Copies of this chain bind each other. A is one copy, B any other.
Amino acid sequence: MQTVMVNLGERSYTIHIGSGLLQNHNALQQALLPSCAGKKVAIVTNTTVAPLYLSPLVSYLEAVGKTVVPIILPDGESYKDWGHLQRIFDGLLENHCSRQVTLIALGGGVIGDMTGFAAACYMRGVPFVQIPTTLLSQVDSSVGGKTGINHPLGKNMIGAFYQPQVVLIDTATLKTLPARELSAGLAEIIKHGLIADPEYFNWVTNTMPQLRALDSDALATVIRRSVEIKAAVVAADERESGLRAILNFGHTFGHAIEAGMGYGTWLHGEAVGAGMVLAAVLSHRLNYLSEENLNQIINTIAAAGLPTQAPSLGVQAYLDHMAVDKKAGDHGIQFILLDGIGRAKIQAVDGQPLLDTLATTNKQ
């Protein structure tokens, strides 16, 4: 079992990474149990993950004397809304869970974001644990404490910064992950290299076949390195007043793609893949990124099995969706750009370079 610390003062926590953690009672006792102080533990999961991983976790917790409340939601980004968040509150209140309950998020990013937000709001805050089961949630949403739900007018518009007590990453869960979701996770891994570590980007590019073939050493390496990069950025700026925004590279365009197509049509990571291409094109048009680097980036994104061509929603639709994007300040739309591979910069952009970039989405 490897560990990475996320250093956030009194909100610091540990990320445990290992293969088979969920079946390993010693590991669960050491990593999970100290965060379950009360008698009741609520496990929030979805209809896809529950048949695979819920039962051994329930058995373990019941064996150590806990009362387990399972709350099973439907699977998908389209259910990341108030109505389904309410089901978590319903389950907790119907089972008379007090402030001493611990919530466990067992699933991908949607489950993690919703469970974390439910924990932040239930009786004004109860402890929670992340057990991410997709590559994307393991390298991204399980680190940093961003929680929330979507609003019909924008993604993740309602939420909280709320840190888990601990994160358990069992790399064995990736064996049951569909290839499309594996690719979606690779999008964030590529992003980590692009914004912070050119050698890592090159390593990921060269190791892509092994990663897509689920080579466990390669996966353990990228999960650890991506978690380290994200943890360092978050530790420097927990509430996104500045630096943390670089983690949104590809996401301003990506959110517009998701909103324009309807949440759930593309996976988040797929939208980020095509969104990173647009952000790289914009960086190239502003003369921050060479054409050679732009092509390298597009090739790596394609090699990960991700879309590199954003959908043709119409230029105005892109602008409208980005206008409500949460990174939009009072002056113009703020983008994360690449000043070469491995260096991110934050800049408000409008006018011709942006219109030219969006024009590349109009394929006929």
Contact = CB atoms under 8 A, between A and B. Distances in A.
B148 A124 contact: yes
A244 to B, nearest CB: 11
Interface in A73-109: 82, 86, 89-90, 93-94, 96, 98-100
A330 B38 contact: yes
Interface stretch (A49-57, A115-123, A356-364): A115-123
Size class of the contact patch on chain A: 35 or more
Interface in A147-177: 147-148, 151, 153-154, 156-161
A225 interface: no
A164 to B, nearest CB: 16
Nearest to A118: B158
Contact of A98 (B90, B121, B326): B326
Contacts of A154: 93
Contact of A89 (B90, B125, B158): B158
A93 B39 CA distance: 40
Contacts of A86: 82
A147 B240 CA distance: 23
A329 B153 CA distance: 39
Given A38-B330, A82-B86, A93-B153, 19 more contacts: A82-B82, A89-B151, A90-B153, A93-B154, A93-B324, A96-B324, A98-B326, A98-B329, A99-B329, A100-B330, A121-B148, A121-B158, A121-B160, A122-B158, A124-B156, A124-B160, A124-B161, A124-B326, A125-B239
In the A-B complex, the 4 residue pairs with the closest CB atoms: A93-B153, A123-B326, A124-B159, A121-B158
